[in-house]
Amino acid sequence: MRLEEVVKVEQFRNDSQRAIINLYYTNSVISGQFKALLKPAGLTPQQFNILRILNGQYPEPARIGLVKERMIDRNSDMTRLVERLVSKGLIERTVCEEDRRQQHVKITEKGRSMLHTIKAKVDRFENASQQLSDKELDVLNQLLDKLREVYEPEP
């Protein structure tokens, strides 16, 4: 369905406005579906992101700062997210021996098991974009990277 039909407008001011609104709307659709996929597991997308990052580090722990740097949503409240995952037994938190101000987090076996349980659903969700050809996916990724450079603040 065309965006104009979804948001019930005859036309946009210009193609740039249409593209940005299309990105917002498409993100909303994809995010909503992903939240629904994770809900039965009792996870939010941000919690899932942390578990995947830590699973990639496994068996080594990671500094909380490193996890935050790798997060997709960097505006997340890491303290609250980590605390929820610790209380669920999905990760463990320890104080860094070298610098007691730093904390390390590590995924637990329960966390790894949860990821394994939902892996097939997540894989199907992430592979849904295979309706696009490899060439289309390449162009889409290049365009999104280029557009993000315009909006992303300098590091």
Instruction: Give the three-class secondary structure for 95.
Output: strand
Task: Quote the percentage of the chain above a pLDDT of 70.
Answer: 99
Q: What is the per-residue pLDDT across 43-60, written as a single tens digit (0 to 9) for each?
A: 999 999 999 999 999 999
Return the structure tokens found at 106.
Answer: 């590590």
Task: Give the whole-angstrom CA distance, residue 14 versus residue 22.
Answer: 12
- Given a cut of 80, whether residue 143 has pLDDT beyond it is yes
* CB proximity list for 76: less than 8 A, separation 6 or greater: 46, 68
Domains and their CATH numbers in the chain: 1-41 (no CATH), 42-122 (1.10.10.10)
Q: What is the per-residue pLDDT across 78-107, written as a single tens digit (0 to 9) for each?
A: 999 999 999 999 999 998 777 777 889 999
Task: Give the whole-angstrom CA distance, residue 37 versus residue 28.
Answer: 14
- Given a cut of 80, whether residue 17 has pLDDT beyond it is yes
- Given a cut of 70, whether residue 155 has pLDDT beyond it is no
